[in-house]
Structure 1
Amino acid sequence: MDSLVARWRLQPHPEGGWYREVQRSSIQVTRPDGQQRSAITTVLFLLGAEDVSRWHCVHGGDEIWTFLSGVPLSLFQHSDAADGSHEQVISEDQPLAWVPAGVWMAARSQGDYSLVSCCVGPGFSFDDFEMLRDRARSEWPKGIDERLI
């Protein structure tokens, strides 16, 4: 795992796993809420066998996950309106997944490691990022899989 982190020059991500921003558009857009963001951003994101991308949400931006290498990755989604989580497997056979803005997500590798690209549009800002563990338990969505907190 250390060699992969070094090869791709990754750093720890607050949700778990490892990442490096590789692209941030110079084009600025204004979201419906009035916030300005880059049009799109892209990161490399690595999860090892022991890593978990814990429940988190990107408010104000859709996210596209693209499988790059390693083994399949389980991507979980849970909207505030849902009673349960939905799992999608991202792999060579199904390389893309979409997470709409405001939907809770979590992920884990199904083996040694999974490398994906995550693109957010309008672009990612930590101002729009929320970890579920930072909310009061009474505010957690109904039916959330607590093993991914």
Structure 2
Amino acid sequence: MITNLITQYQLLPHPEGGYYKETYRSTEHIPHAALAQHFSGLRSFSTAIYFLLLKDLFSAFHRIKSDECWHFYEGASLHVHVLHLNGNYELISLGRNSAKGEVYQAVVPAGAWFASESIGEYSFVGCTVAPGFDFADFELARAANLKADYPDHEKLIERLCRQ
């Protein structure tokens, strides 16, 4: 099943972990002057990807400069761990079991640190970003720095960081 998803959707390894395929990038752009100062240039209106995360792998803590809306498609539930700028921790459970608090969609706000992991064999989800994703807006966390900013979550950070 997992190999079929990778082949069918032409998924590639993602730098933060897992596999992805960009499925949409708006052909129209927001000019740099109309964006918040933290953007370095123009951005597409929106982008979307498929994202596949396998058992025993994780998407390492990272952040981007745009809001990111997550969409659940199939497989096991996905846990998205969010460290908000105000210091609060949030666990988002993407999945189909609403009785357990799982949701089909959730938003990680711009600038928040987040990591994700499948709680089963695999989780197949999608992500929509607006303004559109650009790798110039992507920052992979360093565990030491993140632990200094979020000392109450040291074990989670050590488990879900690569640096």
The two structures have a TM-score, normalised by structure 2, of: 0.83
- Tell me, in whole angstroms, the C-alpha distance in 1 between the residues paired with 2:54 and 2:105: 19
Aligned CA distance change for structure 1 residues 138 and 131 (closer, same or farther; 3 Å): closer
Q: One-letter code of the match for 1:125? A: D
Q: Quote the Cα distance in structure 1 between the aligned partners of 2:67 and 2:122.
A: 24
Residues 32/138 of structure 1: CA separation in 2 closer, same or farther (3 Å cut): closer
Question: Does structure 1 residue 89 correspond to structure 2 residue 90?
Answer: no
Offset at residue 139 of structure 1 (A): 5.5
Q: In proportion to residue count, which structure has more helix?
A: 2
1:10 counterpart residue number: 11
1:69 is matched with which residue?
A: 74
Structure 1 residues 46-65: aligned runs within 5 Å: 46-59=52-65, 61-65=66-70
What displacement does 1:7 show?
1.9
State how far apart, in whole Å, the 1-side matches of 2:45 and 2:145 are: 34
**What does residue range 1-149 of structure 1 map to in structure 2 within 5 Å?**
1-30=2-31, 31-33=35-37, 35-59=41-65, 61-82=66-87, 85-92=89-96, 93=98, 94-133=103-142, 137-138=144-145, 140=147, 141-142=149-150, 143-144=152-153, 145=156, 146-149=158-161
What number of residue pairs does the alignment pair up? 145
Q: Which runs of 5+ in 1 are unaligned?
A: none
The structure that is strand-richer by fraction is 1
Gaps spanning 5+ residues in structure 2: where? Answer: none
Deviation at 1:39, TM superposition (A): 0.3
- Relative distance call for 1:85 and 1:22 in structure 2 (3 A) is same
The offset of 1:80, in angstroms, is 3.6
* Runs of 4+ more than 4 Å apart: none
Aligned-residue Cα RMSD (Å) equals 1.6
Compute the TM-score of the two structures, normalised by the length of structure 1: 0.90
- Which of these two proteins has the greater Rg computed from alpha carbons? 2
